[in-house]
């Protein structure tokens, strides 16, 4: 297994090489956790949870309250159709998604990609980070279109 300090050093170097910025986030569940800002506005969280030999890249998105209300009032079958359409569209980016608190209320979404240490490389890290940001953009686009086309009458 690769040394934990070596992994942290590589990640911070690669972030710097890409001219991205990062801040350390204190979280007792993680060996290390960074908030990485990609283009001055899009931020992902990159970390290694304790007890799991993988790097996880997360983007947590909260939708505007007016979009949340429209979604909440939509018929249940439309919400589930939206969720599965979103999952299919994001499959090509090889990212996972979690509905928070659930698909029927969907106030937030956690978009994530995991890199296990046996596949950890600069290319994999950079591409995975960009995929998570791209997936977030697709989610926002689909959510807005859903509310416009399937919102309550």
pLDDT in tens, 70-86: 788 888 888 899 899 99
pLDDT at 150: 67
**Region of 19 on the Ramachandran plot (φ > 0 left; ψ -120 to 50 alpha; else beta):** left
pLDDT at 152 over 60: no
pLDDT at 101 over 70: yes
For residues 122, 13, 16, 130, the Cα torsion angle rounded to the nearest 10 degrees is 20
Mean pLDDT check: name the lowest of 20-34, 62-76, 96-110: 62-76
For the domain that residue 136 is a member of, what is the CATH number? 3.30.1460.10
Nearest-5° Cα angle at 49, 48 to 53: 70
pLDDT at 16: 96
- End-to-end, the C-alpha distance of the chain in Å comes to 56
Residue with tokens 């909260």: 62
Nearest-5° Cα angle at 50, 44 to 55: 40
Domain with 103 in it: 4-150
Share of the chain above pLDDT 90, in %: 63
Q: How far apart are CA 67 and CA 60, in angstroms?
A: 16
Quote the number of domains for the chain: 1
- Give tens-digit pLDDT for 2-49: 689 999 999 999 999 999 999 999 999 999 999 999 988 899 999 999
pLDDT at 153 over 50: no
């Amino acid at each position: 297994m690769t040394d934990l300090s070596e992994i942290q050093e590589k990640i911070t170097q690669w972030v710097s090489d890409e001219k991205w910025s990062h801040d350390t986030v204190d979280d007792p569940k993680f060996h290390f956790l960074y908030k990485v800002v990609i283009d001055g506005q899009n931020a992902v969280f990159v970390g290694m949870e304790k007890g799991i030999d993988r790097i996880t890249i997360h983007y947590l998105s909260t939708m505007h309250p007016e979009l949340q209300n429209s979604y909440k009032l939509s018929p249940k079958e439309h919400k589930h159709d939206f969720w599965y359409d979103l999952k299919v569209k994001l499959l090509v980016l090889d990212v996972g998604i979690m509905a928070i608190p659930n698909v029927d209320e969907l106030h937030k979404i956690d978009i994530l990609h995991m890199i296990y240490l046996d596949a950890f490389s600069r290319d994999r890290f950079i591409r995975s980070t960009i995929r998570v940001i791209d997936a977030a953009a697709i989610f926002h686009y689909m959510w807005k279109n859903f509310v416009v086309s399937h919102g309550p009458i």
